[in-house]
Amino acid sequence: METIAVIDFETTGLAPEQGARATEIAVALVRDGRVVDRYQSLMNAGVRVPSFIQDLTGITNAMIRQAPPAARVMAEAAAFVGTCPLVAHNASFDRKFWDAELDRIGLGRTRGQAFACSMLVARRLLPDAPNHKLGTLASFLGLPAAGRSHRAQADADMAASLTLYLEQEIQRRFGLPVVSHALLMALQKAPRTRLQTCVERFVAVSA
């Protein structure tokens, strides 16, 4: 069975191109319908955590000063993920930080795998949800509580639970024995009214 790496970052801001840096990363490896391994670490990128981010995440400057260097953490995270395909909730955000932090240690060009976005897939499959924020979807679907939101491990675990739910829903709705990362990538780009056509085309091409 395919192993998928679900990742989450906590950061000092919204965009690395505006100087924001990662403060924490967590990875949950998902296989055979469950989380099989985890990696988590705070990281010290040598930047100050703004007060509003400290209030949001609970990650303080004192915690960051005691954390291992960002370069070491990102090298460890990259080795942990290996070649597993990637998933994140609001993946456009996490993808930017994943690539930017790896660029800083000379590994940014090595990512061959794509990011699937559990938020985009949820928008297609769950249009009746109040909104498609991770915490809202977890509550709406009755997914297990994973800890404090806006901490990387809790959010990675929630995103992993959501990804597993979405895979099961796709299997149920379209009568599929398994759901691959590649199918998640296809569905996240499909119009909501054409999901059946998307699945049929994917199955035909993959046969």
CA dist 131 → 94, 119, 123, 134, 168 (Å) = 20, 10, 9, 9, 20
Residue (of 21, 70, 25, 69) closest to 48 by Cα position: 21
Domain interval for residue 17: 4-206
Q: pLDDT digits over 162-172, tens only?
A: 999 999 999 99
- Structural domain tally of the chain? 1
Q: pLDDT digits over 119-146, tens only?
A: 999 999 999 999 999 999 999 999 987 7
What does the alpha-carbon distance between residue 142 and residue 105 come to, in Å, rounded to a whole number?
Answer: 40
Q: What is the CATH number of the domain that holds 88?
A: 3.30.420.10
Is this prediction's pTM over 0.75? yes
H or E, element range at 99: helix 91-104
Contacts of 48 (CB under 8 A, 6+ apart): 12, 61
- pLDDT the model gives residue 109: 66
